[in-house]
Amino acid sequence: MYKTILTNELEQLMKKSDLKIIDVRENEELEEGHIKGVIHMPISSFVKNMHKINKDDHYYVICRTGNRSGEVCQVLSKIGYKVTNVLGGMSIYQGDVEFDMDDVK
């Protein structure tokens, strides 16, 4: 089972600590604006790339609205990853966004 939070809760948590955030939107969506330092793992290639994330870390997963990130959270939580789905996603995110793809991991 995974946790869920709203984007405003994510914004508050980001002020307190450095979070590991996975953005599962596709490349063209990410170019429209993203949270600085996100780990970009598009849902279209997520399964073949999920070995790149550490099972010991906690991840906050975001997409445009929370649907795709919820799907990813469901998969990851079933195999032992600690994840939280960010409901509302980037569509209602009010924090700072970046457009430069150089800061994407």
Is 73 a catalytic site residue?
no
List the catalytic residue out of 22, 30, 61, 63. 63
Would you put residue 33 in left (φ > 0), alpha (ψ -120 to 50) or beta? left
87 backbone dihedrals φ, ψ, rounded to 5°: -70, 140
Per-residue burial over 43-59, b = 16 or more CB atoms within 10 Å of its CB, e = otherwise: beebeeebeebeeeeeb
CB 41, CB 83: distance < 8 Å: no
Catalytic site positions: 63
